[in-house]
Amino acid sequence: MMGDWQVYWLFLQQGIASGLVTGSIYALLAIAIVIIFKTTDAPNFAAGEIFMAGAYIALYLVIFSQIAYVIAVPVTLGVTFILSALFYRVVLRRIGVSPAVAVNVVIATLGLSFVLKGIVRNTGFGDVPRSFPAVFGADTIQIGDAVLTMQDVAVFALALLAMVIFFVFFNYTRTGRAMRAVGMNPRAAALVGIDLHRTRMLIWGLSGLLSALAAILIAPKILMTADMGIVVILGFAAAIVGGFTSLPGAVVGGLIIGIVENLVGLFVSTRAIVVAPFIVIMLVLAVRPQGLFGGPTVIKKV
């Protein structure tokens, strides 16, 4: 029989280990949200439904069409990339020519979220919670006293790998740097010859791809329903904690949210798990309004 301190020590280790796994997914979602916000100045309220749609595309390919993972996953990522990019090209680019751009973009993304949810519900696949068959098996490994499955380890490793690839892409490739330039100062970027629309379209595509990757990784852990996009709220929470315009901030924010959720559940109450991320947001905003990695507050001159 374990003593109280041993139990608390176990809680701490397991809470952090499991929190890092789910937190890495929140981080991916936060990156998907932040890269859109940085380049369009409006949050993408369809991020959750793009995430959900990615999961259902993969489900359709893997379960109903019996296509191997090695083909189904790249196809899913490709399809979500194309669909998200097309949404920018067909809808948002048109909206961009009208006044009150930010509000219109928000409404358009809300519209997209309803359309995607409606499509999934009409397929009938969203009627019951579903999952993919496990790719990595249910074998467990022990890290300290914490127990993780191979699936958990793979989720964390793949999410980290995706983040590293994105870091390299944004810092060391011509297209990635162009995207950063559009995020920092679109007018200056246009003056040096960057095609704003093409770059933004690629960013929307990449955001969709990241959301789909997060969905494929986490679907076996949270199960798929037409309402699974609600998870993206935790991605927003991670982005806010990190600073909303900072990519490293999104990563750190995601990991913090994942860990805090578990520790609050373990040391406070399981009832408090859902409110924990929002308490973290309030604390961070009270102490550092621009978020952990946000730059200094900028006051625009009128």
Partner 1 sequence: MLRMKAFGLPGLIAGLALSTAAAAFPIKAGQGTYQDPGITDDKIKIGLFAPLSGPARAYGEDPLNAARMWYEMINEMGGIWGRKIELVIEDDRCAANDLVAAVKKLVEQDQVFMLNGGSCSAAAVAAQEYVLRSKIPYVMLNASGDGALYPPTDYIFGGISISQRAVGGIAVDFVVKHFKAKKIGYINHDDAYGAWNLETAQYMAKEHGVSLSVESINPNITDVTAPMLKIRAANPDVLVLTTYARPAALILKRAHELGFKGPIVLTVTGTANLKQLVENVGTKDAFANFYVQDVINDSPDGPKQRWIIDMYKKRYPDLAAKPDHPTPYMPYGVAAAQTVTHALMLAGPNPTRESVARILRTLTFESGVMAGLISFGENDRAGQESSIFLKFDGEKQVLQPGVYTSRWTYKP
Chain residues that interact with partner 1, rule: CB under 8 A: 1-2, 7, 10-11, 14-15, 18-19, 22, 121, 126-131, 133-134, 138, 140, 147, 149, 218, 220-223, 225-227, 230-231, 234, 258, 261-262, 264-266, 270-271, 273-274
- The C-alpha atoms of residue 256 and residue 210 are separated, in whole angstroms, by 20
Q: Which residues contact 244 (CB under 8 A, 6 or more apart)?
A: 34, 37, 291, 294
Shortest distance, CB of residue 173 to partner 1, whole angstroms?
33
Q: Residue 183 or 220: which CB sits closer to partner 1?
A: 220
Q: Residue 129 or 295: which CB sits closer to partner 1?
A: 129
Shortest distance, CB of residue 213 to partner 1, whole angstroms?
17
Alpha helices, DSSP H, located in 88-227: 93-95, 101-123, 150-172, 174-184, 186-191, 196-222
Shortest distance, CB of residue 187 to partner 1, whole angstroms?
41
Shortest distance, CB of residue 144 to partner 1, whole angstroms?
14
DSSP secondary structure string for all residues of 56-80: HHHHIIIIIS---HHHHHHHHHHHH
Q: Residue 79 or 266: which CB sits closer to partner 1?
A: 266
Shortest distance, CB of residue 206 to partner 1, whole angstroms?
24
Instruction: Give the residue from 111, 129, 100 showing the smallest Cα distance to 222.
Output: 129
Instruction: Give the residue from 222, 240, 247, 192 showing the smallest Cα distance to 39.
Output: 247
Q: Residue 74 or 136: which CB sits closer to partner 1?
A: 136
Shortest distance, CB of residue 237 to partner 1, whole angstroms?
12
Q: Which two tokens stand for residue 196?
A: 């704003």
Q: Residue 178 or 237: which CB sits closer to partner 1?
A: 237
Instruction: Give the residue from 292, 297, 184 showing the smallest Cα distance to 237.
Output: 292
Q: Residue 13 or 104: which CB sits closer to partner 1?
A: 13
Place of tokens 């300290």: 144
